Chain A
Amino acid sequence: DIQLTQSPFSLSASVGDRVTITCQASQGIATYLNWYQHRPGKAPKLLISGESTLDAGFPSRFSGSGSGTNFTFTISSLQPEDVATYYCQHFARFPPTFGPGTTVDF
């Protein structure tokens, strides 16, 4: 199985800060990577899929980039409603797997 690692494990930031999370795959996955937002007690939401496609309903301050084994997720200006855990997930081959998550709070 392809393993995904994320860093940092958690981070604290302020409103307006730029936040960056990295996701590294144990083998090349081209751009077959998604990012999800998960708030406690809620279902996860697909944020970014594949080649950095932002899901409808999410503002443009969220972005993703990368290919191969190294990926980056960025919130350009952190807002209070962005407090959540963010997960990367690959869909390159069977089985799909998730990263361990990065918790973002204030």
Chain B
Amino acid sequence: QVHLVQSGAEVKKPGSSVKVSCKASGGGFSTHVTSWIRQAPGQGFEWMGEITPIFRTTNSPQKFQGRLTITADESTSTAYMELGRLTSDDTAVYYCARGAASGSWNWDSWGQGTLVTVSS
């Protein structure tokens, strides 16, 4: 299995942006889909979007379009999630996760999570 290591916790002001990184080791970064999933305090999980690095294609639900940017650097096997126009509702733990061989939405490898706190 791949090992995913995310960047550290962030504290942001409302209206600003945050960029979280996810470095993969163990191979297969370019050809596997990496997703971003978040969990707000006391809430369930919410899938935010995904990237297939080798094709540089991304997908995300309508609610995040316009303020979410997912990118990947194949040279460093690192995926990035940048979320703009932050509000307090974006306070959450953000995870990157890689799809299993059985399907890109079967996440068998997860990063350790990055806490993003949005507060004035």
Interface positions of A from 1 to 18, Cβ below 8 Å from B: 1
The answer to whether A43 and B106 touch across the interface, beta carbons within 8 angstroms, is: no
CB-based contact B113/A46 at 8 Å: no
Interface contact B47-A95, CB-CB below 8 Å: yes
Given contacts A43-B110, A43-B113, A46-B107, whether A98 and B46 have CB atoms under 8 Å apart is yes
Among B61, B105, B108, the residue within 8 A (CB) of A55 is B108
Contact residues on B (Cβ < 8 Å of other chain), bracket: 10 to 19
Contact A49 B106 (CB under 8 A): yes
Q: What DSSP secondary structure best describes chain B's contact surface?
A: strand
CB distance from A99 to the nearest CB of B (A): 7
Q: Indicate the size class of the contact surface on chain A.
A: 20 to 34
Q: How far is the CB of A2 from chain B (nearest CB, A)?
A: 12
The answer on a CB contact under 8 Å between B45 and A94 is: no
- Distance from B109 Cβ to chain A, minimum over Cβ atoms (Å): 9
Decide: A91 near B44, CB < 8 A? Known: A46-B108, A55-B108: no
When the two chains form the complex, which single residue of A43, A87, A97 contacts B112, counting CB atoms closer than 8 Å?
Answer: A43
Q: List 13 A-B contacts (CB under 8 A).
A: A36-B107, A43-B113, A44-B45, A45-B110, A49-B103, A49-B106, A50-B102, A50-B103, A91-B103, A94-B59, A94-B61, A95-B61, A98-B46
Binding site for B on A (CB under 8 A): 1, 34, 36, 43-46, 49-50, 53, 55, 87, 89, 91, 94-101
Given A49-B106, A98-B46, 18 other A-B contacts at CB below 8 A?
A36-B107, A43-B112, A44-B45, A44-B95, A44-B107, A46-B108, A49-B102, A49-B108, A50-B103, A89-B45, A91-B103, A91-B105, A91-B106, A95-B47, A95-B61, A96-B105, A98-B44, A101-B44
